């Protein structure tokens, strides 16, 4: 095995370990919050933060990925990139806060306390610091730094929930403040790491802001559509059902999304590798081979979860959340299929083609919106789950088809595991054992 292969394998393994640590830690926090807040309180937090978090992905403007691209290519001084990013952070933070404020005024401001909404607003610029700084770390291939930041987030999450929601009994307000504490912890960590490279100056260096924006627009458009497809159900539910029902739905969604830790970890590493990849053929082979190995794991895990999770939800979350088990079961097929785009899209984006399959994401978003409005009035939160899983299945198959056409490979190279894949895994295991 070459040094590059060992490096990729090491980054994937360490990232998977981190993701699984986050999985179980996040699982614990989810149970704790659900027990402390109940379905209604859990629903309020989910509904209030869904649009601000969506705006963070849009306000990012793809600058995180564009930064990783330019840092990885080494065509510009790192100090100039950092200064330009800091300048763009001011603009995107101010504009995104204004947009979310207008959304709150037109929407949920009469349903939820303004102090909760203000906390959600305040979290936006802090979260953007993480987004932009992560781009620098991805470009430098500092996967370990990103993994450590995720572990810090988990620690801050657990400690602040125990302190604010449980010990001080601040309820929904405490849960909202937890988001600020987590964001601040990660922002401070990343600022320390970035300043180790260069002092931060809020000064644009021409033509970098324009280059970052133009390159990032493609990343931003694709990422925003993808995230909107994941969150649009909550936004529609907020208008059609009670906060308690949203709370039930969010537990099912959060449980299902734990499976996403696997393709998300792989996708992040592949994006970092693809930004510095000089050989397109190697990048395609690497990504498709990993996808073929991950898909069976996702399917087997989904079957296991479908059988046992409803009982686990009842035991851990309580009888109030029993309906979340049905939501989880409905979502699992879609979660498996969306793995395709979660692994292959970072590969394309890292090689400079973030918009290549945008039409697939737009189509699946439109399907999701249409089905939500058709299903929710009749089937409630289960209808939202059906809408999501159908759109995810279409997204996975559609993205696989578009990717195969672009790279001129058969669909079987994407979806069907090969003997060579198994032999490769056996070889790695035997080498580690020996």
137-172 pLDDT, tens per residue?
988 878 789 889 989 999 999 999 999 999 999 999
Q: Which of the given ranges, 55-69, 173-187, 283-297, has the highest pLDDT on average?
A: 173-187
How far, in Å, CA of 332 to CA of 415, rounded?
Answer: 17
The owner of tokens 């806060």 is 97
192-237 pLDDT, tens per residue?
999 998 888 888 888 888 888 887 777 778 778 988 999 999 999 9
pLDDT band, very low/low/confident/very high, at 109 (cuts 50, 70, 90):
low
In percent, the amount of the chain with pLDDT more than 70 equals: 89
pLDDT band, very low/low/confident/very high, at 121 (cuts 50, 70, 90):
very high
Output the average pLDDT for the chain: 86
259-295 pLDDT, tens per residue?
877 776 665 566 555 555 556 777 788 888 888 888 8
Q: Where in the sequence is the domain holding 316, given as residue range(s)?
A: 3-433
299-353 pLDDT, tens per residue?
998 999 999 888 889 998 999 999 999 999 999 999 999 999 888 888 887 777 7
Instruction: Specify the pLDDT at position 184.
Output: 97
Instruction: Specify the pLDDT at position 285.
Output: 83
pLDDT band, very low/low/confident/very high, at 12 (cuts 50, 70, 90):
low
Instruction: Specify the pLDDT at position 23.
Output: 74
In percent, the amount of the chain with pLDDT more than 90 equals: 51
Instruction: Specify the pLDDT at position 402.
Output: 93
pLDDT band, very low/low/confident/very high, at 10 (cuts 50, 70, 90):
low
Least confident of 117-121, 130-134, 246-250, 273-277: 273-277
370-422 pLDDT, tens per residue?
999 999 999 999 999 999 999 999 999 999 999 999 998 999 988 888 877 77
Give the DSSP letter string of 142-166.
-HHHHHHHHHHHHHHHHHHIIIIII
Q: Which long-range contacts (CB under 8 A, 24 or more apart) does 417-421 make?
A: 417/292, 417/293, 417/295, 417/296, 418/292, 421/289, 421/292, 421/293
Q: What would the two tokens of residue 419 be? A: 């003997």
Total number of residues shown for the chain: 434
Number of structural domains found in the chain? 1
């Amino acid at each position: 095995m070459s040094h590059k292969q060992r490096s990729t394998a090491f980054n994937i393994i360490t990232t998977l370990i981190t993701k699984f640590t986050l999985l179980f830690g996040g699982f614990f926090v989810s149970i704790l919050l659900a027990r402390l807040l109940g379905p209604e309180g859990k629903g309020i937090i989910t509904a209030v933060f869904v649009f601000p978090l969506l705006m963070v992905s849009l306000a990012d403007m793809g600058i995180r990925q564009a930064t990783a691209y330019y840092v990885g290519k080494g065509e510009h001084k790192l100090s100039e990139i950092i200064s330009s990013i800091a300048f763009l952070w001011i603009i995107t933070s101010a504009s995104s806060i204004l947009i979310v404020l207008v959304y709150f005024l037109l929407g949920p401001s009469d349903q939820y306390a303004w102090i909760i909404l203000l906390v959600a607003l305040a979290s936006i610029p802090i979260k953007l610091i993480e987004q932009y700084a992560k781009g620098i770390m991805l470009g430098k291939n500092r996967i370990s730094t990103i993994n450590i930041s995720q572990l810090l987030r988990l620690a801050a999450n657990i400690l602040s929930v125990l302190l604010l929601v449980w010990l001080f009994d601040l309820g929904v307000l405490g849960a909202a403040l937890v988001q600020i504490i987590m964001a601040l912890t990660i922002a401070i960590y990343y600022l320390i790491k970035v300043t180790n490279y260069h002092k931060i100056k809020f000064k644009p260096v021409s033509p970098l802001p324009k280059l970052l924006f133009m390159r990032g627009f493609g990343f931003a458009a694709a990422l925003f559509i993808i995230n909107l497809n994941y969150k649009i159900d909550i936004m529609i539910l907020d208008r059609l059902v009670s906060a308690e029902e949203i709370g039930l739905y969010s537990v099912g969604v959060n449980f299902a999304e734990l499976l996403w830790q696997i393709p998300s970890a792989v996708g992040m590493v592949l994006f970092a590798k693809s930004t510095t990849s000089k050989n397109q053929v190697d990048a395609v082979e690497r990504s498709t081979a990993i996808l073929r190995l991950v898909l069976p794991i996702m399917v087997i895990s989904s079957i296991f979860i479908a059988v046992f999770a409803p009982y686990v939800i009842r035991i851990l979350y309580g009888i109030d959340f029993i309906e979340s088990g049905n939501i989880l079961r409905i979502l699992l097929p879609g979660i498996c299929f969306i793995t395709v785009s979660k692994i292959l899209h970072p590969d394309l984006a890292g090689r400079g083609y973030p918009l290549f399959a945008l039409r697939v994401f737009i189509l699946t978003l439109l399907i999701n919106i249409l089905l939500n409005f058709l299903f929710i009035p009749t089937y409630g939160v289960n209808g939202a789950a059906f809408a999501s899983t159908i759109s995810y299945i279409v997204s996975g198959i559609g993205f696989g088809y578009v990717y195969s056409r672009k790279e001129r490979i058969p669909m079987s190279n994407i979806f069907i595991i090969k003997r060579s894949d198994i032999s490769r895994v056996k070889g790695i295991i035997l080498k580690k054992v020996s």
